[in-house]
Amino acid sequence: MIEPLWEVFIRSRRGLSHVHVGSLHAPDATMALRNARDVYTRRQEGVSIWVVPATDITASSPDEKDEFFDPAGDKVYRHPTFYQVPEGVDHL
Amino acid sequence: MNDLFVYTLRLGDDALIAAQRTAEWIAAAPQLEEDVALGNIGLDQLGQARTLLQYAGQVEGAGRSEDDLAYFRDERDFLNVQLCELPNGDFAQSIARLLYFATYQHLLYEELRGCADETLAGVAGKAVKEVAYHVDHATQWVLRLGDGTEESHRRMQAGLDTMWPYTAELFTSDALVERLEVAVDPSTLHDEWERRVTQVIDESTCARPTSSYQHSGGREGRHTEHFGFLLAELQHVARSHPGASW
């Protein structure tokens, strides 16, 4: 029996955002959360877990790569590289 | 023999033999995720066993290490309950045992963490969180298998029924636990154990197991026919190469 696929997001500590770490199979959300705890946080990787059914994720298509991403390629002025980061600000 | 030594050995042997059976599931569970989950649970149990056996060796004062106690005792010297040594059977049967055993351990460790013996209280304090998760894991599966398909319900019921006649031994009181100040009298845990376990069984739509005959003997070193094979696998390497190190 192939069980539904779940995408797993872990927050490694307070103040950071959840980051995608991988996926797993589970029959339902409750079990997916527990499986994620066992598979992805057994070495103290996290303080919070989200699981999302993989089928609920809408992904961009590799075929649309050019029109999606290329136009941003030559617009360096969109990077905040022209500012001085104030001293003592670590996580900007 | 020293009461505290025997009592610690009982707790340690339960954990060690449970760990050995749980570890048999690694690479054989229904899903990869479950391999890891049961691997974690087995390692929790092994961690409890190591601390307890090490402490038992200290209390005995005869210079035996945790390895000496785990690998160089024979069947009759092991004091674990028979529930822990029974073969895994199918997945549902193993989950039934985990529900029974972890619920017992949870109640036991909750009591034990307040006891006057610093080491036992320490082990219990750490383990109580671990076994709370074991209970949860077993509960999740009993509910899903019991209330799943016709086949999973049949197997879950069979697993609960097969393991049930071995549960009374967990709660058998004897002269030692009455004498030993720090020991938890297991008979005091029975009613709450039964309440918690039957609540899960009821919710899973399985029937409460009924059995008039209850096995016993593990605490006196009398074991089932399966135990020798388990020990052979557990002890083979250590006995073939005594003193070997990694």
Total domains present in chain A: 1
Q: Is residue A36 part of a domain?
A: yes
Q: What is the ipTM of this complex?
A: 0.71
Average pLDDT over residues B43-60: 97
| pLDDT one-digit tens code per residue, A26-42 | 989 999 999 999 999 98
Which pLDDT belongs to residue B91?
97
Which residue of chain B has the CA closest to A6? B33
> CB under 8 Å, gap of 24 or more: what pairs does B232-239 form?
B233/B20, B234/B20, B234/B70, B234/B71, B235/B70, B235/B71, B235/B72, B238/B67, B238/B70, B238/B71, B238/B72, B239/B71, B239/B72
- The domain ranges of chain B are 3-240
Residue A92 binned pLDDT confidence (cut-offs 50, 70, 90): low
Mean pLDDT (chain A) is: 88
pLDDT tens per residue across span B14-38: 999 999 999 999 999 988 999 999 9
The CATH number of whichever domain residue A20 belongs to comes to 3.10.20.520
Q: What pLDDT digit, counting tens, does each position of B154-164 carry?
A: 999 999 999 99
Tell me the pTM.
0.88
Contact B36 A38 (CB under 8 A): yes
Select from B31, B32, B140 the Cβ nearest to the Cβ of A34.
B140
B136 contacts A35? CB cut-off 8 A: no
Look at A25 and B33 and tell me if their CB atoms are within 8 Å.
yes
Residue spans of beta strands (DSSP E) within A1-92: 5-11, 19-25, 48-53
Domain that holds residue A12: 5-59
Q: In Å, how far is B8's CA from the nearest CA of chain A? A: 28
Distance from CA of A42 to the nearest CA of B (A): 8
pLDDT of residue B143: 97
Is A54 among the domain residues?
yes
First to last CA, chain A: 46
Over 80: is that where the pLDDT of B1 sits?
no
- Residue A72 located in a structural domain: no
For residue A46, the distance in angstroms to the closest alpha carbon of chain B comes to: 16
> Please, which residues bridge with residue A49 across strands?
A10
Is residue A40 a part of any domain in this protein?
Answer: yes
Please write the tens of the pLDDT for every residue from B69-127.
999 999 999 999 999 999 999 999 999 999 999 999 999 999 999 999 999 999 999 99
Can you name the CATH fold of B3-240? Ferritin (1.20.1260)
Chain A and chain B share a number of CB contacts under 8 A equal to 28
